[in-house]
Amino acid sequence: MLVLDNDDVATAPAIKAEITAQHTLHGGTLYFLKHDSAATKTPMALSVFVPEGEGPFPVFLWLSGLTCTANNFTEKAGAYKKAAELGLIVVAPDTSPRGEGVANDDAYDMGQGAGFYVNATQSPWAAHFQMETYVTRDLLELIGAQFPTDMSRVGISGHSMGGHGALTLAMNHSNLFTSVSAFAPIASPVHCPWGQKAMAGYLGPNHDAWEIYDAAMRLARGKALSYDDILIDQGLADPFLDTQLMPHLLEQAAKVVGQKLTLRRHEGYDHSYYFIASFIDDHLEFHAARLKT
């Protein structure tokens, strides 16, 4: 039974969400929502797919990459047929706060559309760019309160900047998540131009603060040992592979602490949503196997 109904406005204690669009697909329902986040102090947009049936359902949380909104994954990944079959709720939030009064940068790799899933400490970003708290608190509270979820069974995944987000949030909040995977993640922001720019901007010059958001470094400290395996898919025709992503650093870090990590390298695949669409079913099955037990 859905807590949300078709009134276009759903309420729960202290949590409100507006349904901005709604579609039936694969026997389930896809909602586009807007809700006010206390963390970002802005409205935040997201999509939620709810499969047919009573629930409670486990949750697959997807974090998107640079320049994306909630829509990219929702429209392009082709994830919902398998999610419907497996009985997974699928949640895709936006990649940053947005709007007038929210700081921005002319480049695509900083500011709106590029929140990096960190809690910014530096001006002008700190006022709204609190994406770690947004995802791990406000978003999960909303989903838990408004949908037929079992919040003790949540898996997290994402692409590129969102792969970095999935890995680091899974490691820094291992109490919240049961399973984690990523597509072409930024494995070590400390070691790549995208990461260095974002970390310096959001967190300032102190590298101690950066390391908390560096997946390879967290992995090497054993922060993922509660996960029995981590699935990573990487295309070998991805133009960002060597300069920005560097998934081999995850392999190396995993080896240091005896963390199981499955890194699959795919000949010919690039960085696009066509790559994600090709392997998303494998990820959904990877998570479902862990979320159902």
Ramachandran category for residue 195: left, alpha or beta (phi over 0 → left; psi -120 to 50 → alpha) = alpha
Closest Cα to residue 72, out of 281, 233, 274, 249? 274
Annotated catalytic residue, options 35, 128, 164, 271:
271
237 makes contact with a second copy (CB under 8 A): yes
Q: How far apart are CA 196 and CA 228, in angstroms?
A: 30
HSE-CB of 211 using CA atoms within 13 angstroms: 9
23 makes contact with a second copy (CB under 8 A): yes
269 makes contact with a second copy (CB under 8 A): yes
25 makes contact with a second copy (CB under 8 A): yes
Annotated catalytic residue, options 160, 179, 181, 188:
160
* HEC profile of 220-275: HCCCCCCCCCCEEEEECCCCCHHHHHCCHHHHHHHHHHCCCCEEEEECCCCCCHHH
Helix (H) or strand (E) holding 93: strand 89-93
Q: Which of 277, 282, 285, 289 is in the footprint of a second copy by CB under 8 A? A: 277
Cβ distance to a second copy smaller for residue 80 or 116: 80
Closest Cα to residue 41, out of 130, 124, 118, 121? 130
Q: How far apart are CA 65 and CA 49, in angstroms?
A: 19
Cβ distance to a second copy smaller for residue 26 or 248: 26
Who contacts 69 (Cβ-Cβ below 8 Å, separation ≥6)?
A: 45, 94, 95, 113
238 is catalytic: yes
Q: Fill in the per-residue mask, 27 to 66: x = in contact with a second copy (CB under 8 A), - = not in contact.
A: x--x------------------------------------
Q: For the CB of residue 271, give the shortest distance to a second copy in the complex, in Å.
A: 10
Q: Which of 13, 101, 258, 268 is in the footprint of a second copy by CB under 8 A? A: 268
Q: Which of 85, 150, 229, 270 is in the footprint of a second copy by CB under 8 A? A: 270
Q: Which residues ranging from 180 to 219 are in contact with a second copy (CB under 8 A)?
A: none
SS3 91: strand
Q: Which stretch binds a second copy (CB under 8 A): 22-30, 62-70, 115-123, 247-255?
A: 22-30
Q: Which residues bind a second copy (CB under 8 A)?
A: 23-27, 30, 75-76, 78, 80-81, 235, 237, 266, 268-270, 272-275, 277-278, 281
Active site residue ranges: 160, 238, 271
